Amino acid sequence: MDLTLFNFIHQFAGRFAIIDLLGVFFAKYIAYILVIMWIILFFKEQGFKNRLYFFSLTALSTILSRGIITEVVRFFYNRPRPFVALNFEPLISNGSFSFPSGHMTFYFAMFMAVYFIVKSRNVVWWFFGLTTLMGLARIYCGVHYPSDIVGGTVIGILSAGFIYWILPKVESKVN
């Protein structure tokens, strides 16, 4: 199933230059836009305590998901990337192992911090959509299988949920 879905998505790579450019943009460069969005949201938070909480939730979630869990999984499970296993040239270069997707663990942990903190649901859904497009684009470009993306997404979401659960909440003072 994983290979079938990968082949379905990746089969279009290399056929249309504009779609390849979009794939590369979303796979590689949308991450910068997500970070800029996060920074803007960070500075829109009112008060030092709220900003500190938002920063702490994001930092601890991404460290747990990308820096610890992903590396532990990759230490024990060395899944080669699709372009290595299937012997083709990907649209973007990437090293290391495939499972779980480090991009998805990091950016879905970041997304969940935005989900927990940001009041504007429009912003939250834009963040979610761009992060999801990044995952699909990484399959399209040939650097991940769908299960890598799903695994990274689950790790990112659960990590952020765990950190949100254990991190002391900021108390709002109403005058």
Q: Is residue 175 part of a domain?
A: no
Q: Is residue 151 part of a domain?
A: yes
Q: pLDDT of 23-46, one tens digit each? A: 999 999 999 999 999 999 999 999
How far apart, in Å, are the Cα atoms of 10 and each of 103, 131, 142, 145, 167? 18, 18, 6, 10, 40
Q: pLDDT of 107-133, one tens digit each? A: 999 999 999 999 999 999 999 999 999
Range of the domain at 62: 2-88+99-166
Return the pLDDT at 144.
94
Per the structure block, which two tokens stand in for 137?
């684009």
Q: Is residue 81 part of a domain?
A: yes
Q: How confident is the model at residue 56 (pLDDT cuts 50, 70, 90)?
A: very high
